[in-house]
Amino acid sequence: MLQSHNPAPASWDGQPIVLVGLMGVGKSTVGRRLAARLRVPFVDADHEIEAAAGMTIADMFEKFGEAHFRDGERRVIARLVDGRPKVIATGGGAFINDETRALILEQATAIWLTANTDVLVERVRKRDTRPLLRGRDPRQVLADLAAKRNPIYALAPIHVSSHRGPHEATVAAILKAIGR
């Protein structure tokens, strides 16, 4: 069951749509499908960060630390939020940065994708590339991150809950939330 937590559909004005939320919620997968439905480009901020740095996010975390990565992430997202219609999937921590969040809220349509911990754990176990999960219990990490980050994600004006099932249902909920 999908739910959108918005009082009334917003009318999307062509600003970049920025998907925010915890790792594993489906920002990249849903973002690609949403972009296709809207007939706009899709950009994965993590891929753009890796291309700009010439290394993987895991390597950046290992060599330079999270603070260095977050600074690069902020700069790349600032470049991506350029006023042109597109869908941008961000990393789970991007919206937590005050400057990045302010930019997104001012110059884009921010959508918080959320899912319960069981769904997130199931999804993150499919990939071994997430630095914050290395050598740790995914359920505990995700629960801790949710407790800390969900109040900040909630600042996004559009909230869409995703549950087990086809990502196309989440896309449909977003389209409804933006008046499409």
Per-residue pLDDT of the chain (180 residues; tens, 9 = 90+): 344 444 444 678 889 999 999 988 999 999 999 999 999 999 999 999 999 999 998 899 889 988 888 888 999 999 999 999 999 999 999 999 999 999 999 999 999 999 998 888 888 876 666 666 677 788 899 999 999 999 999 999 999 998 787 889 999 999 999 988
Known binding-site residue numbers = 24-29, 46, 70, 92, 130, 149
Backbone angles phi, psi at 55, to 5 degrees: -160, 165
Please give the Cα distance from 119 to 121 (Å, whole number): 6
Other Cβ atoms less than 10 A from the Cβ of 18: the count is: 31
Which pLDDT score is estimated for 118? Answer: 87
Known binding-site residue numbers for substrate = 46, 70, 92, 149
Which pLDDT score is estimated for 24? Answer: 87
Known binding-site residue numbers for Mg(2+) = 28
Scored b (16 or more CB within 10 A) or e, 119-154 reads: bbbebbeeeeebebbeeeebeebbeebbeebeebbe
Q: What is the homologous superfamily of the domain 3-177 according to CATH?
A: P-loop containing nucleotide triphosphate hydrolases (3.40.50.300)
Which pLDDT score is estimated for 126? Answer: 65
Known binding-site residue numbers for ATP = 24-29, 130
Please give the Cα distance from 45 to 77 (Å, whole number): 7
